[in-house]
Amino acid sequence: MKKTLTIGMFHVTRARPTWRTPGFDGPDFTDIEYWTDLAKACEANGADFLFLADSYGYPTADDQVIPNAIERDVNFSTIDPQMLISALAAVTEHIGLVTTVSTMVESPPVVTRQFRTLDHLSRGRVGWNIVTGSAQAASALLFGEPLMAHADRYAKAADHVELSLKLWEGSWEPDAWKRDAATGVWADPTKVHEVEHDGPYFQSTGLLVTPPSPQVTPTLFQAGASEAGRDLAARYAEAVFLAAESKALADQISDIRRRAVEYGRGPDALRCLIAGTFRVADTMEQAVAEYEEAIAAVSLEEAATLYSYFTGIDLLALDPDKPIPSAAASGDNGRTNVERFLGPSAPTVREVLEEFRANGVMGKPFLGSAVEVADQAEAMIEETGADGFLVQPDPDGRNDRFFAEVMPELRRRGLIKESLVGTTLREHFFGEGQRTLPDSHPGARFRRSRVTV
């Protein structure tokens, strides 16, 4: 029996490369219609969710913004995706809406109220991508804080999620919200509780005043393939994003599922989604030609700027004919895109630059006709045990050929749903009726109907 795949659409809240096209006058990333049209197109074509990535950071070197980032807009200008979700919820009915909020810059009381509000306004369709953040050096400078060690950032993330789950799951019992006009009772005070949290990074005594939403806790995502990232995913996440570039993708997925079992959740407690780019053309030859043309349009300086955004490492300052030196690779910025280039057969700095020039963080794209890329995608699912894809947009940012040709081909093969299951995002992933966290999730232990916090 073939696995039914989850399909998410990936976008960042910044301009698409089409802005560089002379005479381009299409909708801009600061136009609300750009995003509402995108969300409606994703829903109309059967995507399970739309994911908007985010970060406060930008490319830096030696604690200074890299001028090329500003001049060429390399992971530089963005808008706040949290501000978009309400608008996208208003023009859609079924598709999930997922956004990134960093555990480094937003406190749990803020995050819990924001996501509970969005879960109400979307009728249960929101998800939180839990990250410690990319471009950490720039973010730390922006917020006037020291750059925290990588391991400590993940310890803080775990503490953040613990308090967030206490507030979501522990503040209101399921039947606390009465709204009884006859008795004049808004909520039963015996069933609305203050929670107490005294963690290593966060302390709180209080409650989440926003009443329970359809999912109670938003669907939880995680992105980051470092060992600490995989452990955070296994402990809390319900879906995890992993780059298609990784030669160890199957091992990463196996490791996450093993860790989930050790946390008492089970190997199928979360969905592992391959983040990748689909370049679709009439023929393989045409797809390869378009791919090579796109590579040629990216300079090595831009590739180095992009790499610095994710890692804090300035590749242009290193010997191009040697691997990244251990001193540079041991920094406390992002680890995923450092660790992928380490090991006995580590590439040279020049090869790393060429890889980022060609593929960025997503890895080599799926190339060819709709049938050919569907073959490649199906083979990767079989090889890795993944549960679906997070699809990087076409160069024009619209996914037109993926929607028009690849989705129907995947549907013809019985690999994706004919229609979305249930009304909430969690049901899209785990089946109708699975609206709230399962009892096996660590957040369930904070429910007042079960135990006292």
Query: Of 347 and 334, which is predicted with more confidence?
Result: 347
Query: Quick check: 141 and 63 in contact, CB under 8 A?
Result: yes
Closest CA to 109 of 154, 160, 156: 160
Q: Are strands 388-392 and 6-12 parallel, antiparallel or unpaired?
A: parallel
Between 187-196, 210-219, 357-366, 403-412, the lowest mean confidence (pLDDT) is in 357-366
Q: Are strands 177-180 and 126-131 parallel, antiparallel or unpaired?
A: unpaired
Give the per-residue pLDDT at 326: 81
Give SS3 for 316. helix
**pLDDT of 156 above 70:** yes
Give the per-residue pLDDT at 23: 66
Q: In whole angstroms, what separates CA 32 from the centre of its chain?
A: 21
Between 87-101, 208-222, 358-372, the lowest mean confidence (pLDDT) is in 358-372
Give the per-residue pLDDT at 267: 94
Give the per-residue pLDDT at 18: 65
Spatial CB neighbours of 21, under 8 Å, sequence gap ≥ 6:
none
Residue 444 class from Cβ within 10 Å (0-12 exposed, 13-18 middle, 19+ buried)?
Answer: middle
Across the range 290-299, mean pLDDT stands at: 90
> Over the stretch 98-141, which tens digit does the pLDDT of each residue have?
999 999 999 999 999 999 999 999 999 999 999 998 888 888 88
Query: Quick check: 294 and 392 in contact, CB under 8 A?
Result: no
**pLDDT of 450 above 60:** no
Percent of the chain with pLDDT over 90: 69
Give the per-residue pLDDT at 26: 64
Give the per-residue pLDDT at 393: 76
> Over the stretch 159-198, which tens digit does the pLDDT of each residue have?
999 999 999 999 999 999 999 999 999 999 999 999 999 9
Query: Of 432 and 310, which is predicted with more confidence?
Result: 432
pLDDT-based confidence at 452, cuts 50/70/90? very low
Number of other residues whose CB lies within 10 A of the CB of residue 397: 18
Number of other residues whose CB lies within 10 A of the CB of residue 210: 18
Place of tokens 């990748």: 276
Query: Quick check: 98 and 52 in contact, CB under 8 A?
Result: yes
Give the per-residue pLDDT at 246: 60
* Topology (CATH) of 6-281+364-446: TIM Barrel (3.20.20)
**pLDDT of 417 above 50:** yes
Query: Quick check: 304 and 315 in contact, CB under 8 A?
Result: yes
**pTM higher than 0.85, yes or no?**
yes
Give the per-residue pLDDT at 453: 35
pLDDT-based confidence at 330, cuts 50/70/90? low
Closest CA to 209 of 176, 185, 162, 161: 176
> Over the stretch 233-279, which tens digit does the pLDDT of each residue have?
999 999 999 987 666 899 999 999 999 999 999 999 999 999 999 99
Query: Quick check: 181 and 259 in contact, CB under 8 A?
Result: no
Mean pLDDT of the chain: 91
**Run of H or E including 202:** none
Closest CA to 163 of 200, 218, 116, 114: 200
